[in-house]
């Protein structure tokens, strides 16, 4: 999305700290997803 001279889109470049923060948040989400998958596997194995 571009609105002409002044862009309406998010910035193209992030600071190093912003990248670190985003990656930490992403890792937390992946960790939660991994935990959920592990719980489903345990539950499925318990039912067999």
| pLDDT tens-place string over residues 1-40 | 455 555 566 778 999 999 999 999 999 999 999 999 999 9
Residue 27 lies inside a defined structural domain of this protein: yes
Higher pLDDT, 9 or 45: 45
Residue 19 counted as domain residue: yes
The domain in which residue 22 lies consists of 14-48
| 9 in any annotated domain | no
CA distance 13 to 35: 32
Residue 18 lies in a domain: yes
pLDDT of residue 44: 94
The predicted structure's pLDDT at residue 1: 47
Domain assignment of residue 4, yes or no: no
Within a domain: 1? no
How far, in Å, are 18, 32, 38 from residue 43 at the CA level? 38, 17, 9
Whether residue 8 lies inside any domain: the answer is no
> What's the total number of domains in the chain?
1
pTM for the whole structure: 0.66
């Amino acid at each position: 999305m571009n609105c002409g001279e002044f862009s309406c889109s998010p910035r193209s470049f992030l600071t190093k700290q912003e990248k670190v923060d985003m990656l930490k948040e992403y890792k937390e989400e992946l960790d939660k997803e991994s935990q959920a998958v592990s719980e489903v596997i345990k539950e499925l194995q318990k039912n067999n």
